[in-house]
């Protein structure tokens, strides 16, 4: 699928232009990260997952947009690997316990594959369609969640893991 086809899907689903601009920025940053890491990964999966990660924002801007988006993508016929990127892109992931506390179906929404992790990471490095540093995004996490929230450590670990992939020698 080319970019225009993805944008058409997003528009037909009801995504606003601001959401589409954000999605395009996440797609671009995800692919830049993919180009820099030195581990095997599926670039097309990253591209598709990045394009669709916020399709649920066509219906809601709440935390459940990831689940709504996964359902939209499922109905559109996208495979399970794309669905997982959409479901698991919130923050640095959501644990089973946090999901229960947030009123989401009780399961882990933690990114597992490199592709899931790269899209989640890129999404966190954007304010709208503007890239910010890891330090700025971490501070935003701390301000919104509090210093002791488990997502803070998960985000730091995700950052370190991706930095390690960039420095990895075969």
pTM of the model: 0.96
In sign, the C-alpha dihedral spanning 41, 136, 94, 71 is negative
Q: How far apart are the C-alpha atoms of 4 and 11, rounded to whole Å?
A: 10
Binned at pLDDT 50, 70 and 90, residue 167 comes out as confident
pLDDT bin (cut points 50, 70, 90) of residue 169 is low
What residues have CB less than 8 Å from 110, skipping those under 6 apart?
88, 92, 93, 94, 95, 154
112-158 residue pLDDT tens: 999 999 999 999 999 999 999 999 999 999 999 999 999 999 999 99
118 vs 91, higher pLDDT:
118
Retrieve residue 45's tokens.
């999966």
């Amino acid at each position: 699928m080319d970019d225009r086809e993805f944008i058409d899907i997003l528009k037909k689903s009801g995504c606003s232009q601001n959401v589409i601009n954000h999605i395009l920025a996440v797609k671009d940053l995800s692919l830049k990260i993919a180009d820099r890491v030195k581990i095997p990964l599926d670039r097309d999966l990253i591209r598709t997952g990045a394009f669709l990660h916020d399709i649920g924002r066509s219906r809601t801007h709440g935390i459940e947009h990831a689940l709504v988006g996964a359902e939209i993508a499922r109905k559109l016929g996208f495979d399970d690997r794309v669905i997982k990127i959409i479901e698991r892109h919130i923050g640095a992931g959501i644990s089973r316990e946090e999901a229960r506390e947030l009123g989401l179906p009780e399961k882990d929404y933690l990114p597992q594959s490199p592709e899931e992790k790269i899209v989640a990471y890129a999404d966190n490095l954007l304010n709208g369609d503007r890239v910010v540093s890891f330090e700025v995004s971490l501070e935003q996490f701390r301000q919104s969640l509090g210093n002791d929230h488990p997502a803070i450590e998960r985000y730091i670990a995700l950052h370190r893991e991706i930095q390690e992939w960039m420095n990895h020698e075969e």
